Structure 1
């Protein structure tokens, strides 16, 4: 009988929990590029190269070789006994398979062999075992190994388009093929600089969440795998993004906080902060979704407040920075929306900045003076213009607004009076394609000549740490900058009270 270990078993939960039928003697390949030879001798011609985790059927023995048949290649041959693991007798016992899986799971580069062992356990275990702790552990390992294999492939040179493959790329491609034979599905998304992000589809993790025997840590690991921020279709429509973010938020809410170690609790709340922040933006793009967006933004800030900094692992520090940037990017949505008409005085003149609907679904800022009918400035954008963030300096010569063009990117708009008239400049978090980050107003320096602001970003694969900056209002050039606000005198004296109370840049 053909040695298919796990294909039908992974199709549905019901099929997964059914007792597996009895198969002919099956063996798992233990080494990459194990030679399938035409005869039981090392000098015999090699008919194919087998890869770790592949299943072959044992049909006999000769000398120090097993006579096997490979159903995928529809070819028989001989393989050295030391290169395969026969799944019969004690080796086929579910307890023995689970013990071997625990060991292989810790070995980097052995993911395909671990997948083969996990699939063998699924086949050999009874329905009661699959519903119990052992079955959940096997499924957890199966999903984790698939996710790790996908991450290895994404980091390799094979993830670069139009790049010649190396031996490592060939090995990864073969191991991904082994995973696909066990019913595991992968998705690929094109990223920056022509790279590809490969992601495991996540069916096994959904099963882990559904099984009552799963531990809080296993549920946390499954929820984090299913809600990865880098495994989503960038071409999704706004309505699809809204549904996706709501689903991810619901998945994370199902993870029990009781019994969860601080390390995993931190990881879950960091992901919740990021997901609720993105959900706030998706809801704000919908008509009449102001209260929902406000609630989602508040949930992002609340999740971030539950992080225990002392329990953050070193490898989780980037996740903490990213979650804080995401929550900070949407923090204005947690406040009631400001008026669509903003007024202030400039000497004897009265100025009015109005937010009006554009002609193509965008929003337009129109600056007018009480002394003139024609607009002094008009600027339109499809981004979310946060009127609650409006701030004007004491002299009435400059104003700022926070604008969010994407779910994770917030820019600072600076309106200022120049000898040529009023103009608007956009200050991004960093000079790069929009990624994750914010540029925000931090205060005015009296005299109408300087502006305080903060930037932080992760874009084009590079993290730009927090930068507290003093800008010249005439040229918008940075006069002074520091990674610590306390090192800059203007920040100590003139930092805006509202910014200090609400910003996450001072975390």
Structure 2
């Protein structure tokens, strides 16, 4: 009894490997650019180049060649026997195909061949086998190989819009074409610096999650593949993105974390931290005031997810992901605290100053600084960023104040208000001098005397990671006077670091 699974990918795989003639055998090509020759001779003209994982029909033998027919190209020819794997006899049994798939799965660059073997297993397996451990393993391999092939293509020159292609790029394009012929769908998104992110659509991973026989590791691998941040459509509207993030959070929440090895628990926690951070920002941007409570809860869940991370169990390749997750969560950590409705006020000499957030004319928010001694506002600054009023802090001298403002879900700036001889002014200190990406610039303390500010920056923007930088900033000019990668190496941080920053910030992780 053949399997009756009906998803588009699996149905296409089975159809491609089912020979039209009852007594014909199917074979998988084992080498890239295997020559399909006009005769059973090395000197015969090559009619086409076959690629690893392609399926051809065997119609006969001659010398050391198989006579085959390629239905895609509608062309027959001869291929050396050592370049193809006939799928008949014991080699076509599901157990043998699964054993070969396990071996090929470990070989980088052989993804298209692995896809062919997985498709052959789907075609040969019975329904009960597909629903059991072997079927789940084959589907898990099918999705993993498709995702790995897409990642290889994204890193190649073929994914750059302004770079000539190489032979490697041609090979990747051919292997992607092989995958597409097995019913696997890929999406591409334009990213920064003229590159494309190619992503597997993920239908097979959804089936892995739905099968009861899947193991916790298979479930988490499928959930992580389906919830990748770099495979989300950057052109999605805020409403679409909110629904997508809610779906991502639900998928990750279904994985049974207690049954996972530490390395997978860490990866799950990092992804959950990132998704809940995105949700916290998206919910805070909702026009309904009632969204404040869900946003606060989402931010708290992001912090809880990151707290489950075990640094000692981090693999080397996961360290950048851990930094990214920490930056995402740190960018929204203020939202875990109630903003409060009381105005932000302080005294400077004999004057009473008050800072308020008021609606702007075009849907933005405006900071309004007012004085008890003046009718006109001392300062007005508007932004579409999320102003996190819980982050407000003013120095002892009353000549400077700071606020955290989040223009995007993963980029948090520090707004510095200063009293100058010309009046009050506001300056924006970003995480880095780059297009907004991932990062934060945050207040860390005031140095007595009203002349210095302590802050921290960390970012990943325009393809470059800028490690944590603890800085002593001159307030009159906002120039960095001293900086270090360790807070303990700067005396002002040892003496004047803000207590709330030390207990709440993730920059000291």
Give your verdict on TM over 0.5.
Answer: yes
Pairing of 1:454-469 with structure 2 (within 5 A): 454-469=456-471
Q: More deviation in 7-16 or 442-451?
A: 7-16
Note if contact 1:325-1:437 (Cα within 8 Å) is conserved in structure 2. yes
Which residue of the other structure, out of 323, 326, 340, is the alignment partner of 1:324? 326
Shift of 1:61: 0.8
Q: Paired residue for 2:475?
A: 473
Equivalent residues in 2 for 1:284-299, closer than 5 Å? 284-286=284-286, 287-288=288-289, 289-299=291-301
In structure 2, C-alpha distance between the alignment counterparts of 1:14 and 1:194, rounded to whole Å = 36
Q: Does 1:160 align with 2:160?
A: yes
Q: Equivalent residue for 2:8? A: 11
| C-alpha contact (below 8 Å) 1:7/1:182 kept by paired residues | no
Q: Name the counterpart of 2:249.
A: 249
CA contact (8 A) 2:337 2:390 kept: yes
Partner of 2:174: 174
Structure 2 unmatched ranges of 5 or more: none
- 2:370 is aligned with 1:373: no
Q: What CA distance in whole angstroms lies between the structure 1 residues aligned with 2:248 and 2:204?
A: 16
> Aligned pairs, how many?
502
Residue equivalent to 2:134: 134
TM superposition shift of 1:17? 11
Q: Which residue of structure 2 lines up, in the alignment, with residue 335 of structure 1?
A: 337
Per the TM alignment, residue 499 of structure 1 is displaced from its structure 2 partner at its CA by: 0.6
Task: Give the counterpart of 1:392 among 389, 394, 400.
Answer: 394
Residue 350 (1) aligns with residue 352 (2)? yes
CA displacement at 1:12 relative to structure 2: 7.4
TM-fit CA distance, 1:168 = 0.3
Cα RMSD after superposing both structures: 1.8
| TM-fit CA distance, 1:461 | 1.1
Post-superposition CA distance 1:114-170 (Å, at most 9, x none): 000000000000000000000000000000000000000000011110221100000
Structure 1 residue 262 corresponds to structure 2 residue 262: yes
TM score, norm. by length of structure 1 = 0.96
Evaluate the alpha carbon distance shift between residue 401 and residue 6 of structure 1 in structure 2; reply closer, same or farther with a 3 A threshold. Answer: farther
Q: Structure 2 vs 1, CA of residues 362 and 462 (structure 1 numbering), >3 Å: closer, same or farther?
A: same
Partners in 2 of 1:485 and 1:258 — Cα distance? 36
Which secondary structure does the structure 2 equivalent of 1:401 belong to?
strand
Q: Which residue of 1 aligns with 2:449?
A: 447
**Partner-residue secondary structure (3-state), 2:230:** coil
Instruction: Mark the CA change 1:17 to 1:41 in structure 2 (over 3 Å): closer, same or farther.
Output: closer
In structure 1, distance between residues paired with 2:5 and 2:218? 24
SS of 2:163's equivalent in the other structure is coil
Change (3 A) 1:163 1:189: same
Does residue 435 of structure 2 align to residue 438 of structure 1? no
- CA offset digits 1:3-33 (Å, max 9, x no partner): xx99995417899999x97763100000000
Partners of 2:13 and 2:119 within 8 A in 1: no
Distance of 2:258 and 2:382 partners within structure 1? 48
In structure 2, how many angstroms separate the alpha carbons of the residues matched to 1:416 and 1:160? 45
State the match for 2:274 in structure 1: 274
For the residues of structure 1 that align with 2:435 and 2:136, how far apart are their CA atoms?
Answer: 42
- Which residue in 2 is equivalent to 1:489? 491
Query: C-alpha displacement at 1:337, in angstroms?
Result: 1.1
CA contact (8 A) 1:398 1:416 kept: yes
1:6 touches 1:182 (CA, 8 Å); kept in 2?
A: no
* Match runs of 1:35-184 below 5 Å: 35-184=35-184
C-alpha distance in 2 between matches for 1:58 and 1:353: 80
Mapped to 1, the partners of 2:13 and 2:306 lie a distance apart of: 38
Give TM-score, length-normalised by structure 2: 0.96
* Contact preservation (8 Å) 2:104, 2:113: yes
**CA deviation digits over 1:265-303, x for unaligned, max 9?**
111011101110011001111122100000000000001
| Cα distance in 1 for residues equivalent to 2:94 and 2:7 | 17
In 2, Cα distance between equivalents of 1:340 and 1:41? 87
User: For residue 412 of structure 1, what is the aligned residue in structure 2?
Assistant: 414
Alpha-carbon distance in 2 for matches of 1:58, 1:7: 26
Residue 199 of structure 2 corresponds to: 199
- Give the conservation status (yes or no) of the 8 Å contact 2:3–2:125: no
Residue by residue, what CA displacement relative to the aligned partner does 1:184-228 show, whole Å, maximum 9, x if unpaired?
A: 001101111001100000001000000000000000100010111
Gap change, CA 1:314 and 1:159, over 3 Å in 2: same
Distance 1:6 1:190 in 2: 38
**SS state at 1:258 partner:** helix
Please say if residues 283 and 293 of structure 1, whose CA atoms lie closer than 8 Å, have aligned partners that are also in contact. yes
- CA change 1:370–1:203 in 2 (3 A) is same
**Alignment check: 8 A CA contact 2:473 2:482 kept:** yes
> Are positions 1:401 and 2:398 aligned together?
no
Distance 2:167 2:6 in 1: 32
**TM-fit CA distance, 1:331:** 0.3
